[in-house]
């Protein structure tokens, strides 16, 4: 069966990832690359493979930034969420986390939309 070029999986992606149960990672990476959309992940190996394949990668801090910037959550809620994430042992870049915690503690960001209560 012939597939259009946009459906062909780049075999280099398959080789870059560990074959130990990462079929879903390969799927999301190839989907993001094919669709030209960012990949949201906290997995270091997947992030590395995505970056090596020219896919934009976003993570937990980006999600929190967007939620605050778009006023879906308050700076206090974001600070509390990030604090809980860190307390559960999630490995995130500490310098970036600290700068956000300080910013969100200061309250120098938009407050959430009223509809989100």
> What local confidence, expressed as pLDDT, does residue 21 receive?
52
In this prediction, residue 59 carries a pLDDT of 87
Examine the domain organization and report whether 53 and 100 are in the same domain.
no
Please answer whether residues 55 and 27 qualify as being in contact, where contact means their C-beta atoms are separated by less than 8 angstroms: no
How far is CA 41 from each of CA 44, 61, 66, 92, 106, rounded to the nearest angstrom?
Answer: 8, 11, 15, 12, 28
pLDDT of residue 108: 66
pLDDT for 113 equals 42
pLDDT at 112: 46
Same domain, 45 and 32: yes
From 84, 71, 63, select the one nearest 116 (Cα to Cα): 71
R_g of the chain computed on alpha carbons: 18
Asked if 53 and 87 sit in the same domain, the reply is: no
Identify the pLDDT of residue 14: 47
Q: Which domain holds residue 103?
A: 60-116
**Residues 75 and 107 occupy one common structural domain:** yes
- pLDDT beneath 50: ranges in the chain: 1-12, 14-15, 18, 111-117
* Distance from C-alpha of 38 to C-alpha of 50, rounded to nearest angstrom: 9
């Amino acid at each position: 069966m012939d597939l259009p070029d946009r459906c062909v999986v780049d075999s280099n992606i398959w080789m870059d990832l560990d074959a130990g149960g990462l079929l879903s990672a390969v799927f999301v990476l190839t989907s993001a690359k094919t669709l030209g959309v960012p990949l949201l992940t906290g997995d270091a190996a997947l992030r590395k493979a995505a970056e090596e394949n020219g896919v934009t990668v976003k993570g937990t801090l980006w999600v929190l930034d967007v939620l605050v910037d778009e006023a879906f959550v308050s700076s206090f809620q974001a600070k509390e969420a990030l604090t809980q994430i860190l307390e559960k042992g999630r490995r995130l870049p500490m310098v970036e986390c600290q700068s956000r915690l300080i910013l969100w503690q200061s309250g120098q960001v938009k407050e959430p939309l009223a509809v989100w209560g």
